[in-house]
Amino acid sequence: MPFNIQKIRNDFPILSRKVNGYPLVYLDNAATSQKPQQVIDSIVDYYSNYNANIHRGVHTLSQEATDAYEGARQKIQTHFNAKEAYEIIFTAGTTHGINLVANGFSEILKKGDEIIVSAMEHHSNIVPWQMLCEKTGAILKVIPMNKEGVLIFSEYEKLLSEKTKLVFVNHISNALGTINPIAEIIEKARQVGAAVLVDGAQSCSHVKPDLQKLDVDFYVTSAHKMCGPTGVGILYMKEEWGNKLPPYQGGGEMIAEVTFEKTTYAGLPHKFEAGTPNICGVIAFGAAIDYLNAIGFEEIEKYENELLKYATQKLLEIEGLKIYGTGPEKTSVVSFNIEGIHPYDIGTIVDKLGIAVRTGHHCAQPIMDFYKIPGTVRASFAFYNTLEEVDALVNAVKKAKMMLS
């Protein structure tokens, strides 16, 4: 399908609304993406036509809902190229997936074992491991980054040892847009026998990871970052890990047999999907994956790179503007500040002009501490943004600068 930006924009009803009297320019895609009509329709269709609980019912509606739910799992398996559909576990989102893995490792780790995380992690990627370390006596090690916002690979290699049990890194940094070399990170971890968990929350709307090729142990992401609904995500785990890790929550769906003496757990993936899942969310997630694939990830990546290049060039023309995260491999995120102006002030003014950007520490305070700044203004682009919207941002930032300096 040729990349037709106008046609794509027409798919997103929200993009035609006004904010503070101006046409909405939505540049907070790293926080959450907007939803196309196709995804919205799939939600309405589910509740209008075949809402029922899944897996156990013999009636027609239940069967239809089950087929749609498991059909979405297969779609997602194909999309991420997982070996088996049951290696895809539905979660409430990335954070839930991370906590599920951390909980599993609390039974595996021993005192003195080590977990490695990167210096550019989201708070939700730091806290569960700190909690895990407190509980097990394991030690948390951090891969440092350089001034360009790129992980120092040689330092990572130095941290690895036979004590390393788990390496945890985001595929793409939410605050800087840096793409981490996960294939190399996984390969090195393999050599010491450590497992690797990759957080794909920021990457899955831009690139299509091949999980078998990456040979990653765990991969987590959220549907809402990729045009799907909030409250649903996936945890991919290799079958061997799925069998090894204990269940996270007890409840319906995750059991095979229950007596008051003993419960046998269900197999994968149900072992980790206790209770009635987010059926509608999962089905809509499938619709979102279909939507993105119909446009094509190569097309998306190419177009977003154009937006990034143009935005970077135009923003840098503003005197005193500094971009954080300037590594060679990055996605369409521009995190910046203007000398002498607080990011919050810029965010407030551009919002009055209808432009949605994020300001603050982006839940990555360690990165802000590293640069010794209170936060940044972050504009993050999606394939439905336009070059004209980049111009609108640049003009708004110029206006803000004029008012604020």
Partner 1 sequence: MTIEAIQEELIDEFSMFEDWMQRYEYMIDLGKSLPLIDENLKNDDKLIKGCQSKVWLNSELKEDKIIFTADSDAIITKGIIAVLVRVFSDQKPQAILDANTDFIDEIGLKEHLSPTRANGLVSMIKQMKMYALAYQTQLKN
What does the block give as tokens for 291? 């939507």
CB of 108 to partner 1, least distance (A): 38
Q: List Cβ neighbours of 261 (8 Å cut-off, separation of 6 or more).
A: none
**Least separation in angstroms between CB 164 and partner 1:** 37
Pick 171 or 361: Cβ nearer partner 1: 361
Residues acting as catalytic residues: 363
φ/ψ region of 357 (left if φ > 0, alpha if ψ in -120 to 50, else beta) reads beta
Give whichever of 143 and 400 is closer to partner 1, judged by the CB atom: 400
- The CA distance from 167 to 196, in Å, is 5
Give the nearest distance from C-beta 231 to partner 1 in angstroms: 19
Residue closer to partner 1 (CB basis): 21 or 328: 21
- Sort 296 into a burial class: Cβ within 10 Å, 0-12 / 13-18 / 19+: middle
Nearest-5° angle of CA 212, CA 226, CA 73? 50
The pairing of strands 321-324 and 263-265 is unpaired
Q: What DSSP character marks residue 373?
A: -
Q: Tell me how far, at minimum, the Cβ of 342 lies from partner 1, in Å.
A: 4
Q: Please identify, using beta-carbon distances, which residue of 281 and 343 lies nearer to partner 1.
A: 343
Question: What are the DSSP calls for 313-352, one per residue?
Answer: HHHHTSTTEEEE---SSB-SEEEEEETTS-HHHHHHHHHH
Determine the Cα–Cα distance for residues 80 and 98; give it in Å rounded to an integer: 18
Nearest residue (CB) to partner 1, 330 versus 401 = 401
Contacts of 31 (CB under 8 A, 6+ apart): 358, 380
Phi/psi at 215 (5° precision):
60, 40
Q: How far is the CB of 389 from partner 1 (least distance, A)?
A: 21
Beta carbon nearer to partner 1, 39 or 341: 341
What is the DSSP code string of 263-286? EEEP-TTGGG--SS--HHHHHHHH
Q: Which helix (H) or strand (E) holds 265?
A: strand 263-265
Q: Which of 186, 259, 171 is nearest to 221 (CA)?
A: 171
Query: How many Å apart are CA 35 and CA 39, to the nearest integer?
Result: 6
Rg (CA), the chain: 22
Tokens encoding 116? 């490695």
Nearer to partner 1, 142 or 318 (CB): 318
Shortest Å, Cβ 361 to partner 1: 9
* Interface contacts to partner 1, rule CB under 8 A: 20, 341-342, 344-345, 348-349, 352, 359-360, 374-375, 403-404
Shortest reach from residue 127's CB to partner 1, in Å:
19
